[in-house]
Amino acid sequence: MRWKKEIGYGSTHRTTAHPAWLHHRRGYWTEARQASTDHLGDALARAPVDRRRRGRAGECGSVRDEARRAGGKKKRICTRNPGWPLDRFSTIGRAWEGDTVALIGGGASVTETQVAIARRVAQRIIVVNNAYQLAPDADVLYFADTQWWNWHKDDARFINFEGEKISLFGNGAGTEDADVHIVRQIGGRGISTDPAGVMTGSNGGYQALNIAVLAGAKRILLLGIDMKGKHWHPEHPAPTHEAHYLQYAVHFSEAAKILKKMGIEVLNCSPISALTCFPKVDIASLLPDPDPAALPA
């Protein structure tokens, strides 16, 4: 059974049945199934996780390197609520206070060169939807709905993604994967300052932007947030209609005014983006040495 059938939004009702999402993750299915409700958290913590270590191509000499050396491992921003796993929600902490965060979306404008530069000029990276395939070393993968998860849940690159995975209660409530943190929908417009969740803006890129704000970002770089046209990857089975982008742009424009008052700088690094509410820059100009000969391969 799905989690939303066990616990409603804001409900404190508990059940002794194990939600189906606890059993999806490979490697602990048997142990979690046999555990009592009171000890599910311990069982999941003990269970093996299928991870493959990967190199960090393109990070040499980057501010991400410096951040990692200073902080050791990746700085996790999500904390599970005390009642987890029966309380499935997580909160977002300000572990990235003052950092520059690159947010990589699915727009056709994003390139591998831009991603390589992002690794050098940003301490943290959030990827939205399929962008985890461009930056498998990202700190956070955000997706908004269960439908997308169903398309990618068996992809080895998704399974082995080492950063945090975050989705949204509502559209993402049917995600049956204990690796995925679920945050609440606080509202539709504006910017949430409540660590329990985000404003939706009707699109995943907007929600990922709000996550960066909650995590403490001081500057946010948008890559592939084109708000028009095709994606850099094959189209989703359920593609976005062009009319929706107009609605998304309105929400971003409203958020831009709030972010400016908050003292958070947002730079649009997409040369073809339909968004006009954020200053446009060439991400290469943010490099300490913007000489073309010094650009990452």
CATH of domain 62-294: 3.90.1480
pLDDT bin (cut points 50, 70, 90) of residue 286 is: very high
Taken in order 187, 226, 116, 134, is the CA torsion positive or negative? positive
- For the residues 264-277, what does the mean pLDDT come to? 92
The string of DSSP codes covering 140-195 is EEE---HHHHHHHTT-HHHHT--SEEEEETTTTTT---TTEEEEEEEESSS----T
**140 and 162 Cβ atoms separated by less than 8 Å:** no
Q: What is the pLDDT at residue 140?
A: 98
| Percentage with pLDDT > 90 across the chain | 52
For residue 53, what are its two tokens? 């270590």
Q: CB 159: neighbour CB atoms within 10 A? A: 17
Could you tell me which of 104, 109, 106 has the C-alpha nearest to residue 137?
Answer: 104
pLDDT bin (cut points 50, 70, 90) of residue 29 is: very low
Q: What is the pLDDT at residue 234?
A: 64
Angle, helix 63-71 to helix 112-121, in steps of 10 degrees: 50
Q: Is the pLDDT of residue 179 over 50?
A: yes
Q: Is the pLDDT of residue 279 over 60?
A: yes
pLDDT bin (cut points 50, 70, 90) of residue 215 is: very high
In degrees, rounded to 5, the angle at the alpha carbon of residue 17 between the alpha carbons of residues 14 and 18 is: 100
**Distance of alpha carbon 233 from its chain centroid, rounded?**
18
- For the residues 133-152, what does the mean pLDDT come to? 93
pLDDT bin (cut points 50, 70, 90) of residue 138 is: very high
For 170, left (φ over 0), alpha (ψ -120 to 50), or beta? left
CA–CA separation, 146 vs 168, rounded Å?
Answer: 9
Could you tell me which of 222, 227, 240 has the C-alpha nearest to residue 280?
Answer: 222
pLDDT bin (cut points 50, 70, 90) of residue 84 is: confident
- For the residues 263-271, what does the mean pLDDT come to? 96
For residue 257, what are its two tokens? 């005014």
For residue 169, what are its two tokens? 């209660």
Q: Is the pLDDT of residue 23 over 50?
A: no
pTM: 0.75
Q: CB 51: neighbour CB atoms within 10 A? A: 11
User: So where are the chain's domains?
Assistant: 19-50, 62-294
Contact partners, residue 117, CB within 8 Å, separation at least 6: 283, 284, 286, 287, 295, 296
